[in-house]
């Protein structure tokens, strides 16, 4: 059996004295992608050091706990910690593989902010030794992998760095392999999905692919880092554009007075038509963000991608207007909002259009808003102190005259139109039609 990371020797300035054994991996960033990946790697026998800037996250993980909700994650992390294959730290150890899974948010004017990736590269540079491999998993604008190489080169002029497009590699390998797992199914998809592994050079790609082949049941498809970076942005833009089409149809349908759910159901009976589902807008930290990275890279050409983002953002505004029209028809009524998460059966509120709509309504309705969200025990941040009441489904339905379905959580799916008879109902997800 391989020796696990030894927290007394593997970290800090002295760590570079010994080359890291080739079964040791440092996963930098223990968020929605990094923590599940670290735990899965540990379950496949790798020795993993998960690194995070947050003491709270490091302490929670080292105690065998999780700071995010994701199916099967608590069990997997608990097992990885008790087997000593996973340890968490705020320091980056010397390792054979370094995986960067930190956030890449949007900055001002929807420009990509890769400062966390750059900081991760700077934290790896002092201890990295020849033979090691750095893999960027964070969704990133095209060219980010080369930027990581440049940062390492500036700090470590002693290392011969791989050059993008060269036939063979340098002293270390640098590659890009985008995460493509679906929140709610992360643990399952981490192992089963195909992976796209892009190297600065073919050697770099092969070095990174060797890691993924040790735990991925899908295919590991090898390419260069720029293609791999673009693939990730294109995948999420494809979905955003298709959801935008569904959302635009729902607004057209409102204007011309037809039922969009009937239209989509019947159009999808055509053998080559497959329209997605409208909703209150698009949320989450991926689809609502990543297409902007493509727009930033090619602002003149990325016209459909930009418009799709605008349509999906506008759908939340349109949804709020429709709710306010119901409120004008019943000015003193209480309003039950069913669901606040960014999509069904998940506890993630990042960029949630449902939450944004709820916050806007609370600004003038306050305690008349009854929020029903089975995936939280307290009001999410934006609703704290607004007067909104977090309550159960039955209580909300008995008090509210207006009922809005914002998220089609499984816990709401037993509802039928008959259960809501006599109320003003707006079903943004078509849940009551299904
Ligand atoms: N949505 C609709 N209508 C639909 C489908 C989705 O309104 O028909 C909405 C959802 O309610 C949600 C948003 O779109 O607000 C995004 O949800 P999603 O389930 O489409 O995707 P995410 O953000 O949970 O995960 C996506 C996935 N990408 C693709 O399917 C191409 C996942 O594989 C990526 O790994 C993830 O982004 C990521 O991290 O990039």
User: What is the 3-class SS of the chain, one letter each residue?
Assistant: CCCCCCCCCCCCHHHHHCCCCCCEEEEECCCCCHHHHHHHHHHCCCEEEEECCCHHHHHHHHCCCCCCCCCCHHHHHHHHHHCCCEEEECCCCCCCEEEECCCCCECHHHCECCHHHHHHHHHHHHHCCCCCEEEECCCCCCCHHHHHHHHHHHHCCCCCCCCCCCCCCCCCEEEECCCCCCCCCHHHHHHHCCEEEEECCHHHHHHHHHHHHCCCCCCEEEEEHHHHHHHHHHHHHHHHHHHHHHHHHHHHHHHHCCCHHHHHHHHCCCCCCCCCCCCCCCCCCCCCCHHHHHHHHCCCCCHHHHHHHHHHHHHHHHHHHHHHHHHHHCCCCCEEEECCCCCCCCCCCCCCHHHHHHHHHHHHHHHHEEEECCCCCCCCHHHCCCCCEECCHHHHHHHCCEEEECCCCHHHCCCCHHHHCCCEEEECCCHHHC
Select from 69, 237, 243 the residue to mutate for testing ligand 1; criterion: most ligand atoms less than 8 Å from CB: 243
User: What's the pLDDT at 21?
Assistant: 66
Place of tokens 């679906």: 182
Provide the greatest CA pair distance for the chain: 75
User: What's the pLDDT at 223?
Assistant: 98
Closest residue (by CA) to atom 28 of ligand 1? 236
- Give the separation between CA 184 and CA 155, rounded to whole angstroms: 39
The tokens describing 420, both together, are 């809501």
pLDDT in tens, 325-338: 999 999 999 999 99
- Closest among 86, 103, 87, 93 to 40, alpha carbons compared: 86
- Give the separation between CA 381 and CA 359, rounded to whole angstroms: 10
What crossing angle do the helices spanning 34-43 and 73-82 adopt, rounded to 10°?
A: 50
Closest residue (by CA) to atom 9 of ligand 1? 282
Residue 428 alpha carbon to ligand 1 centre in Å: 17
pTM: 0.93
Ligand 1 atom index nearest CA of 184: 24
User: What's the pLDDT at 434?
Assistant: 80
Residue 338's φ and ψ, nearest 5 degrees, are -95, 110
Closest residue (by CA) to atom 3 of ligand 1? 277
CA distances from 408 to 168, 262, 278 (A): 51, 18, 12
Cβ–ligand 1 distance for 316 under 6 Å, the answer no
Which one is catalytic: 133, 177, 232, 315? 232
What crossing angle do the helices spanning 303-329 and 353-365 adopt, rounded to 10°?
A: 40
- Give the separation between CA 191 and CA 187, rounded to whole angstroms: 7
- Give the separation between CA 184 and CA 286, rounded to whole angstroms: 14
Cβ–ligand 1 distance for 342 under 6 Å, the answer yes
Is 133 designated active site?
no
Cβ–ligand 1 distance for 291 under 6 Å, the answer no
What crossing angle do the helices spanning 303-329 and 225-256 adopt, rounded to 10°?
A: 40
- Give the separation between CA 383 and CA 117, rounded to whole angstroms: 31
User: What's the pLDDT at 164?
Assistant: 96
The pLDDT tens digits along the chain (434 residues) read 455 666 544 555 455 445 566 789 999 999 999 999 999 999 999 999 999 999 999 999 999 999 988 889 999 999 999 999 999 999 999 999 999 999 999 998 899 999 999 999 999 999 999 999 999 999 999 999 999 999 999 999 999 999 999 988 799 999 999 999 999 899 999 999 999 999 999 999 999 999 999 999 999 999 999 999 999 999 999 999 999 999 999 999 999 999 999 999 999 999 999 999 999 999 998 999 999 999 999 999 999 999 999 999 999 999 999 999 999 999 999 999 999 999 999 889 999 999 999 999 999 999 999 999 999 999 999 999 999 999 999 999 999 999 999 999 999 999 999 999 999 999 999 999 98
Cβ–ligand 1 distance for 235 under 6 Å, the answer yes
Cβ–ligand 1 distance for 352 under 6 Å, the answer no
Closest residue (by CA) to atom 37 of ligand 1? 286
User: What's the pLDDT at 173?
Assistant: 97
Closest residue (by CA) to atom 34 of ligand 1? 180
Which one is catalytic: 177, 220, 286, 362? 286
Cβ–ligand 1 distance for 277 under 6 Å, the answer yes
- Give the separation between CA 59 and CA 66, rounded to whole angstroms: 10
Select from 34, 71, 182 the residue to mutate for testing ligand 1; criterion: most ligand atoms less than 8 Å from CB: 182
Q: Are strands 173-176 and 47-51 parallel, antiparallel or unpaired?
A: unpaired
Cβ–ligand 1 distance for 287 under 6 Å, the answer yes
Cβ–ligand 1 distance for 265 under 6 Å, the answer no
User: What's the pLDDT at 142?
Assistant: 97
Is 286 designated active site?
yes
Residue 315 alpha carbon to ligand 1 centre in Å: 16
Select from 102, 218, 286, 288 the residue to mutate for testing ligand 1; criterion: most ligand atoms less than 8 Å from CB: 286
The tokens describing 285, both together, are 């930290």
pLDDT in tens, 144-156: 999 999 999 999 9
Cβ–ligand 1 distance for 236 under 6 Å, the answer yes
Cβ–ligand 1 distance for 180 under 6 Å, the answer yes
Place of tokens 């934006």: 382
Cβ–ligand 1 distance for 430 under 6 Å, the answer no
């Amino acid at each position: 059996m391989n020796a696990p990371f030894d927290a007394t020797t593997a970290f800090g300035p002295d760590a570079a004295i010994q080359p890291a054994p080739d079964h040791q991996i440092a996963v930098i960033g223990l968020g929605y992608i990094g923590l599940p990946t670290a735990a899965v790697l540990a379950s496949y026998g790798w020795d993993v050091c998960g690194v995070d800037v947050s003491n709270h996250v490091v302490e929670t993980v080292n105690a065998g706990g999780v700071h995010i909700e994701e199916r099967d994650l608590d069990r997997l992390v608990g097992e990885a910690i008790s087997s000593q294959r996973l340890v968490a730290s705020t320091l980056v150890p010397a390792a054979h593989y370094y995986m960067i899974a930190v956030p890449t948010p949007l900055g001002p004017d929807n420009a990509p902010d890769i400062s966390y990736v750059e900081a991760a590269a700077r934290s790896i540079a002092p201890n990295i030794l020849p033979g090691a491999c750095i893999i960027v998993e964070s969704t990133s604008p095209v060219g980010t992998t080369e930027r990581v190489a440049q940062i390492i080169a500036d700090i470590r002029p002693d290392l011969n760095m791989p050059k993008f497009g060269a036939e063979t590699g340098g002293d270390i390998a640098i590659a890009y392999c985008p995460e493509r797992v679906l929140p709610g199914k992360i643990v399952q998809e981490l192992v089963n999905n195909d992976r796209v592994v892009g190297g600065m050079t073919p050697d770099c790609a092969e070095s990174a692919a060797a890691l993924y082949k040790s735990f991925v049941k899908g295919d590991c498809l090898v390419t260069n880092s720029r293609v791999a970076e673009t693939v990730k942005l294109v995948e999420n833009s494809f979905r955003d554009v298709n959801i935008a089409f569904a959302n635009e149809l729902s607004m057209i349908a409102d204007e011309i007075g037809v039922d969009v759910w009937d239209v989509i159901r019947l159009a999808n009976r055509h053998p080559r038509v497959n329209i997605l589902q409208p909703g209150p807008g698009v949320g989450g930290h991926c689809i609502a963000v990543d297409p902007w990275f493509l727009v930033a890279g090619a602002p003149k050409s990325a016209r459909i991608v930009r418009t799709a983002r605008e349509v999906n953002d506008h759908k939340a505004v349109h949804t709020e207007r429709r709710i306010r029209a119901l409120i004008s028809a019943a000015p003193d009524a209480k309003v039950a909002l069913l669901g606040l998460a960014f999509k069904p059966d998940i506890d993630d509120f990042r960029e949630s259009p449902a939450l944004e709509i709820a916050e806007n309504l609370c600004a003038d309705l306050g305690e008349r808003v009854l929020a029903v969200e089975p995936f939280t025990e307290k009001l999410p941040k934006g609703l704290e102190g607004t007067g909104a009441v977090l309550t159960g489904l039955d209580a909300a339905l008995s008090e509210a005259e207006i009922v809005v379905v914002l998220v089609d959580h499984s816990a709401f799916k037993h509802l039928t139109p008959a259960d809501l008879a006599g109320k003003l109902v707006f079903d943004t997800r078509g849940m009551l039609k299904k």
